[in-house]
Amino acid sequence: MNPRPDHAQLTAPDDGIAKGEVLLEVRNVSLSFGGVKALTDVSFDIRKGEIRAIIGPNGAGKTSMLNVINGFYTPQQGMIVFRGKERRSMKPHEAVGQGIARTFQNVALFKGMSTLDNIMAGRSVHMKRGIGWQMLWHGPALAEEIEHREKVEEIIDFLEIEHIRRIPVGKLPYGLQKRVELGRALAMEPSLLLLDEPMAGMNLEEKEDMSRFIIDVNQQRGTTIALIEHDIGVVMDLSDRIVVLDYGKKIADGTPEEVKSDQAVIDAYLGVPHE
Amino acid sequence: MNNAGLRSRAGGGEASGATSPRWEETGLARSRASPDTFPKYLLLNAERFRGRPAMRHKDYGIWQSWTWEEQLAEVRAFALGLQTIGLQRGDRVAIIGANRPRLYWTFAAVQSLGGVPVPVYADAVADEMAYVLAHAEVKFAVVEDQEQVDKVLSVSGEVPSLAEIVYDEPRGLRDYDHSHLHAYTGLRDAGLKRLAEEPGADEAWHAEIEKGKGSDLAIMLYTSGTTGRPKGVMLSNDNLVRSALNGNAFDSLDENESTIAYLPLAWVGDHLFSYAQSYTAGFCVACPESADTVNEDRREIAPTYFFAPPRIFEAMLTMIMVRMDDAGRLKRAMFDYFLAHARKVGEPILQGERVGFLDRLKYALGDILVYGPLKNRLGLSRLRVGYTAGEAIGPELFSFYRSLGLNLKQLYGQTEATVYVTAQPDGKIRADTVGLPSPEVEIRIADNGEVLYRSPGVFIGYYKDEEATRRTKTADGWVHTGDAGFFDADGQLKIIDRAKDVGRLRSGAVFAPKYIENALKFFPDIKEAVAFGDGRDFCAVFINIDLQSVGNWAERNNVAYASYQELAQHPRVREIISGHVAETNRRLSREPMMAASQIRRFLILHKELDADDGELTRTQKVRRGFIAERYGELIEALYDGSTEKYVETEVTYEDGRKGRLAATVRIVDAEVYEMPGEPVREAAE
């Protein structure tokens, strides 16, 4: 028969927070490694449904900030409030359980596995059957596999990567690997998606594609996104609000317009355009 | 939910027998034996092929199928939806996008209401699209996705007739102004709603279908037109139905075929193969998941009927060869061994000729070990009929596929002819002909060598271009192809050149430069050839060697050379090329039309023809006129009997600097044959 699903999009889970309310708050966070201060008393918030950018020069502490948010680093001072719950230390897999997914600056996929399997791996957090059932590959495990495969196919359709479904990701060009990594993060159906330089090393066309995917994820699925990106043009176009870090300190926070005209930001990062 | 509605409508309505009286009322029963329009075929197929698949589309990784009655329900729902936005008889509807079921349904939906579909090449830039949309005065556009919506919106200012746009894929379009923009699903649902709520909506739709006639304009196809603006070729229902039926009969296609639709909707071939023939024969058309997955999808569908231009067959062969290079030793040895055997006996077996028992046995073994898996990989294991057309296919490439047991054939066609002019019947296949006249096609060769045809597929005319129509189509229905050709001894047509490029030798014999050049270029050692002879006593050519191919040979044979120029003038290279020219002459001598243009003298150019020097176009086509001017003294030397000539040529380097290249070029007399293939004189060298 004719069961064409009409794009029942994956959506961000309903976490009881209305659009525009604070989803995550970073409260007075300081992080240091021995004598090196990576972050000093940084505070900002991420609201539900927005695209929030974190920018700053090299070594400003952007990736450290993401690592604090998803529990990879534990700050010496301050705390993270996510969905109303305060915490200081947490394991990354707990972050996933709470609905935080991320991609990495240097693509971190399973190189020998196909695109399909990589994205499927992202679904594992939602699978109920244990490894025993999965190895048996029958009955409830198979039913579950089919259910999750449908979700994965939606993501593949969404990211337009049908043609690489069966190809080991190690063989793919960099731009596509980035897309697969985004797919794996989306498979977790996160309420907060952290993207660490999603467009690094891409050409203009790939950047445009990636920008469109990020906007679509945000608008169609309602996923809240926090991203680090160096291409200022892209950041200004994409994000609703921007926080600027320099030497581990927050120097500005606001809409793209506010940030663009902020003197401290111009001095530290943007520079002055040549006349 | 909507799909459920569609299904119950299609299934329930007909199962209860409620529709039977309507067939009588509308008089459809009378025309059921041979409908004259495609919507009528759709009604017929929903009856006679009930439960059989009509359309497939891979979506979310799974092949979705629609039976003929489901396809009917989809078309009906969308047609009723189109009425709600004002589609009327005679309105033209642009269809823009990739091969997707909903776009194919749009053809039938529009035609059912008496509208005229105008498919437009999806990769056309906005400017070209604007011209076609404005020229065809389209009122509606049904497009694939946001990209096409943007393109159409950007040119809507130049297309005053355009009123409404319908899109299939909603992604990214949510925030657009929807006052004149409609989702396909929205219209389909509106149609379903009308069907459920308006009494008589279904009957009225059947009545609209009944109004359609065979002589009605069925579709307008814009030819891409290498020169000037594209022209809108108007084809009637009769044109398409007759051509499709003839094609079906010629290759005995029936409802059991399956094919994959992957060529542009706006191309007449796709419209015939994936729409007209599917509706008339009742076979299933599969739409690929995306343009990038065609190879994988073809493998899963394994079409029985397949068309591809030569470049696609070439790409497939390259893919195999690249993979074989990575394969293990044993596999490679098997591949080489059995492919060599296939080259020897594969084609004769396919042609039904006598082949020894042992050879057949070995071929059968090869089929299990090599040819079978290979065909499976290519998605051609179930292929019954394959066609290639569009340009000349290399004989090597053609025989490669045929030697594997694939029934690959050539056809020659035009949009103006509704594709078929000639096609090769099974068992009479050759690489260098395009076949016998197709059923019901008459062919005539004009005095200047131009091919003319007359057939039931001959188009109505060019839309809004009376003058071009008159120039192409004579009052009694003959159409000028613009191509020159001749019939060979077996009665198969050979296309030799564009008619305007064909000249005559002083003796009056036809001289087709491109035919000779192509014959030479089939040798890998020859990269480029330029033939002269129009208004001269005999044919003479310039030859460019292929540095890679000849360089390889030189390396293997310890021939040292310092430059292209030195290699080109090497005596042993000259011997090799001499052999190729003699072989070409021997082939030419077998063809009565061409025997007079055998190559009498040739020379190997001291430099490669280059687009930077203006000798080639940027698409690597020879600019014969420019070369004749630039190398005038060499041409004179070809004809005045001298054996060598000193020339200096200005060349432009890639960085823009200019230099001079001096060389003494030897001129060689070639072996010439008498008609049926004996040499009349020895070469001078």
What is the distance between the alpha carbons of residues A271 and B12, in angstroms, rounded to a whole number?
71
Beta-sheet strands, E only, within B466-568: 479-487, 493-498, 503-504, 510-511, 526-532, 539-545
Residue type for position B346: G
Is B307:B269 a contact under the CB 8 Å cutoff? yes
Contact at CB, B171 and A7, closer than 8 angstroms? yes
What is the distance between the alpha carbons of residues B249 and B127, in angstroms, rounded to a whole number?
41
What is the distance between the alpha carbons of residues B249 and B242, in angstroms, rounded to a whole number?
11
Q: Determine what percent of chain A is predicted with pLDDT higher than 70.
A: 93
Q: Residues B481-516: pLDDT tens digits?
A: 999 999 988 899 998 888 888 888 999 888 999 889
What is the distance between the alpha carbons of residues B441 and B458, in angstroms, rounded to a whole number?
9
Point out which residues pair with B665 in neighbouring strands. Answer: B645
Contact at CB, B6 and A2, closer than 8 angstroms? yes
3-state SS, residue A198: coil
Residue B70 touches partner A, C-beta closer than 8 Å: yes
Q: Which two tokens stand for residue B532?
A: 């002269």
Q: Which two tokens stand for residue A210?
A: 């990636």
Q: Which two tokens stand for residue A192?
A: 């907060």
Contacts of B25 (CB under 8 A, 6+ apart): none
Chain A nearest CA to B638, separation (Å): 52
Same domain, A32 and A46: yes
What is the distance between the alpha carbons of residues A67 and A123, in angstroms, rounded to a whole number?
22
Same domain, A85 and A208: yes
Which residues of chain A fall below pLDDT 70? 1-15, 272-275
Q: Determine whether A113 is exposed, middle or buried from the number of CB atoms within 10 Å of its CB (0-12, 13-18, 19+).
A: middle
Task: Compute CA A53 distance to the chain's CA centroid, rounded to the nearest angstrom.
Answer: 11
A31 occurs within a structural domain: yes
ipTM of the prediction = 0.76
Contacts of B289 (CB under 8 A, 6+ apart): A162, A163, B57, B58, B59, B61, B297
A106 occurs within a structural domain: no
Q: Which residues of A fall within a CB distance of 8 Å from B59?
A: 4, 157
Point out which residues pair with A36 in neighbouring strands. Answer: A33
To the nearest 10°, the Cα dihedral for B35, B36, B37, B41?
A: 20
pLDDT surpassing 60 at residue B257 = yes
């200005």: which residue's tokens? B650
A15 occurs within a structural domain: no
Same domain, A117 and A83: no
3-state SS, residue B191: helix
Residue A157 touches partner B, C-beta closer than 8 Å: yes
- Long-range CB contacts (within 8 A, 24+) of B149-156: B149/B173, B149/B176, B149/B181, B151/B96, B151/B126, B152/B94, B152/B96, B154/B126, B155/B126, B155/B127, B155/B129, B155/B130
Same domain, A41 and A86: yes
- Name the pLDDT band for B655 (thresholds 50, 70, 90): confident
Q: Which two tokens stand for residue B372?
A: 């079978």
Contact at CB, A216 and B57, closer than 8 angstroms? no
**For position B10, what pLDDT does the model report?**
38
Same domain, A134 and A201: no
What is the distance between the alpha carbons of residues B596 and B586, in angstroms, rounded to a whole number?
12
Integer Rg of chain B from CA: 29
What is the distance between the alpha carbons of residues B141 and B133, in angstroms, rounded to a whole number?
9
**HEC sequence for B144-185:** CCHHHHHHHHHHHHHCCCCCEEEECCCCCCCCCCCCCEEEHH
Nearest to B142 by CA among B181, B206, B94: B94
Nearest to A6 by CA among A143, A154, A147: A154
Q: Residues B614-640: pLDDT tens digits?
A: 888 776 778 888 898 899 999 999 999
Kindly report the backbone phi and psi dihedral angles of residue B420, in degrees, each rounded to the nearest multiple of 5, phi listed first.
-70, 120
Size of interface A-B (CB pairs under 8 A): 50
What is the distance between the alpha carbons of residues A6 and B76, in angstroms, rounded to a whole number?
19
Same domain, A201 and A153: no
Work out the mean pLDDT of chain B and round it to a whole number: 89
**For position B12, what pLDDT does the model report?**
36
Q: Determine what percent of chain A is predicted with pLDDT higher than 90.
A: 48
Kindly report the backbone phi and psi dihedral angles of residue B328, in degrees, each rounded to the nearest multiple of 5, phi listed first.
-70, 170
Instruction: Assign 3-state DSSP to chain A and report helix, strand, coil percentages, each to 5.
Output: 40, 25, 35
Same domain, A80 and A146: no
3-state SS, residue A55: strand
pLDDT surpassing 90 at residue B542 = yes
What is the distance between the alpha carbons of residues B454 and A3, in angstroms, rounded to a whole number?
46
Q: Determine what percent of chain B is predicted with pLDDT higher than 90.
A: 65
Is A35:B35 a contact under the CB 8 Å cutoff? no
A119 occurs within a structural domain: yes
- CATH at A236: 3.40.50.300
Q: Among A141, A156, A189, which residue terminates a domain? A: A189
Contacts of B577 (CB under 8 A, 6+ apart): B525, B526, B543, B545, B602, B604, B668
Is A30:A39 a contact under the CB 8 Å cutoff? yes
Same domain, A182 and A64: no
Q: Among A135, A158, A189, which residue terminates a domain? A: A189
Q: Which helix (H) or strand (E) holds B120?
A: strand B116-120
What is the distance between the alpha carbons of residues B339 and B401, in angstroms, rounded to a whole number?
11
What is the distance between the alpha carbons of residues A7 and B668, in angstroms, rounded to a whole number?
69
Residue type for position B535: G
Kindly report the backbone phi and psi dihedral angles of residue B492, in degrees, each rounded to the nearest multiple of 5, phi listed first.
-90, 145
Same domain, A195 and A272: yes
Q: Which two tokens stand for residue A237?
A: 């176009």
A140 occurs within a structural domain: yes
A40 occurs within a structural domain: yes
Crossing angle between the packed helical segments B101-112 and B68-84, to the nearest 10 degrees: 60
CA distances from A236 to A42, A75, A208 (A): 22, 29, 14
Looking at chain A, which residue has its C-alpha nearest residue B291?
A163
3-state SS, residue A70: coil
A105 occurs within a structural domain: no
Q: Which domain holds residue A47?
A: 20-99+191-275
Q: Which two tokens stand for residue B399?
A: 């025989």
Q: Which residues of A fall within a CB distance of 8 Å from B6?
A: 2
- Name the pLDDT band for B227 (thresholds 50, 70, 90): low
Q: Which residues of B fall within a CB distance of 8 Å from A162?
A: 61, 289-290, 292-293
Q: Residues B231-247: pLDDT tens digits?
A: 999 999 999 999 999 99
User: What does the pLDDT average to over B346-352?
Assistant: 88
User: What does the pLDDT average to over B23-40?
Assistant: 64
Q: Determine whether A164 is exposed, middle or buried from the number of CB atoms within 10 Å of its CB (0-12, 13-18, 19+).
A: buried
What is the distance between the alpha carbons of residues B23 and B599, in angstroms, rounded to a whole number?
67
Chain A nearest CA to B7, separation (Å): 8
User: What is the phi-psi region of residue B225: left when phi exceeds 0, alpha when psi lies from -120 to 50, beta otherwise?
Assistant: left
**Total number of domains in chain A:** 2
Q: Which of B6, B60, B174 sits opposite A150 (nearest CB)?
A: B60
Q: Which of B64, B171, B172 sits opposite A3 (nearest CB)?
A: B64
What domains can you pick out in chain B, each with its CATH number? 2-287 (3.40.50.12780), 305-498 (2.30.38.10), 502-681 (3.30.300.30)
Same domain, A213 and A178: no
Contact at CB, A149 and B293, closer than 8 angstroms? no
Same domain, A168 and A195: no
Q: Which of B70, B170, B172 sits opposite A2 (nearest CB)?
A: B70
Q: Among A189, A215, A237, which residue terminates a domain? A: A189
Q: What angle do CA A198, A204, A209 make, to 5 degrees?
A: 60
Contact at CB, A216 and B60, closer than 8 angstroms? no
User: What does the pLDDT average to over B424-442?
Assistant: 90
Chain A nearest CA to B6, separation (Å): 9
Same domain, A121 and A231: no
Q: Which of B3, B57, B61 sits opposite A165 (nearest CB)?
A: B61
